[in-house]
Amino acid sequence: MAEVKAVEKEVKIEEVLEPSLDKELRIKRKKVVDPGFDETIKRLTPEKIEKTINAVLNLRKTAARFLAPLETCIHCALCSDACQYYISHDKDPTYSPASKLRLTLWEMIRRKGKVSPEFIKQCARIAFTECNICHRCSMYCPFGLDITYQIGMVRRILFLLGVVPHNILDQDNSQSATLTQLWISQADWIDTIQWLEDETRLEYKNLRLPIEKEGAEVMWAPLGTEPKIATYHVVRTAIIMNVAGIDWTVPSRDGWDSVNMAMFIRDFETMQRVVLGLYENCLRLKVKRLVLTE
């Protein structure tokens, strides 16, 4: 009986990601057009990319977070069925969480940061448009590998290189400048709250939207979109608080917006400032609880 040997074709990363060789993914993927991707990669140099990747990975200090998962993952695919992108794309294996890591972070490690601007663009497509960093894959991994952390660090690298979806980066810039999602000034915030109280009291006579009430039980922190473009959410919250008899307040100072867009692109510096702003307002007003919109 003739011996039958299974021959597995080795698929190199270049066959998937490099523009001249990614025919398979060109068919499967819709092109993502975004100035945050297309324009910024034009300004990247191989030297800057390599320096940024190696600065973030710094494997001498972070080997346990990056190299250990790379060597431990057995590609069992249990994480795949936890991923909505994998399920919603007919279980295409290139959408599996392990595959996303192989096509991004693990390849950066293998090449020691020596990758092209086009590779970085493809990483941005994967990390920002094919993953929600929802943590479901990490929960299903039998080894407890923190896949989400690793994808998050891909986003960190992309943020430092400036390769971020344009709309998200604009909101991150807003939070960096104003601690709000949509460029809302402190004066606009206070004016909106006072205006909504006046309007709502036409129907609910005793309703209040208390500002700067020291010692209240609860400090409420809305999303930045609510006082900007969805004021009915603020009114509904005020009605619920008043009907329920909650002793509540909102701060007048910056640090009232509970949105943290910086977290999604791993802008750690701004992310921490947003959280600190909420925490400091709670301490200053001496409240017992912080309540956030959904």
Co-location of 158 and 273 in the same domain: no
CA pair distance 217, 247, nearest whole angstrom: 5
- CA 82, 88, 93, 96: dihedral to nearest 10 degrees? -30
Co-location of 47 and 84 in the same domain: yes
Q: Is 27 a domain residue?
A: yes
CA pair distance 100, 105, nearest whole angstrom: 8
Co-location of 151 and 195 in the same domain: no
**pLDDT for res 28:** 64
pLDDT by residue for the chain (294 residues), tens only, comes to 333 333 333 334 444 444 433 554 544 677 789 999 999 999 999 999 999 999 999 877 777 788 888 889 998 989 999 999 999 999 999 899 999 999 999 999 999 999 999 999 999 999 999 999 999 999 999 999 999 999 999 999 999 999 999 999 999 999 999 999 999 999 999 999 999 999 998 888 889 999 999 999 999 999 999 999 999 999 999 999 999 999 999 999 999 999 999 999 999 999 999 999 999 999 999 999 999 987
Q: Is 62 a domain residue?
A: yes
Q: Is 258 a domain residue?
A: yes
Q: Is 128 a domain residue?
A: yes
**Domain end: 164, 196, 217, which one?**
164
Co-location of 287 and 202 in the same domain: yes
Co-location of 155 and 265 in the same domain: no
CA pair distance 31, 98, nearest whole angstrom: 22
78 in helix, strand or coil?
coil
Q: Is 169 a domain residue?
A: no
Co-location of 22 and 159 in the same domain: yes
Co-location of 75 and 201 in the same domain: no
Co-location of 82 and 159 in the same domain: yes
CA pair distance 84, 97, nearest whole angstrom: 10
Co-location of 156 and 194 in the same domain: no
Co-location of 184 and 158 in the same domain: no
Q: Is 246 a domain residue?
A: yes
With 0-12 / 13-18 / 19 or more C-beta atoms within 10 angstroms meaning exposed / middle / buried, residue 204 is: middle
Co-location of 104 and 37 in the same domain: yes
**Domain end: 108, 131, 164, which one?**
164
Co-location of 21 and 145 in the same domain: yes
CB-based contact 137:5 (threshold 8 Å): no
Q: Could you give the number of structural domains in the chain?
A: 2
Q: Is 82 a domain residue?
A: yes
Query: CATH number for the domain including 47?
Result: 1.10.1060
Q: Is 10 a domain residue?
A: no
**Domain end: 137, 164, 191, which one?**
164
Enclosing domain of residue 214: 180-292
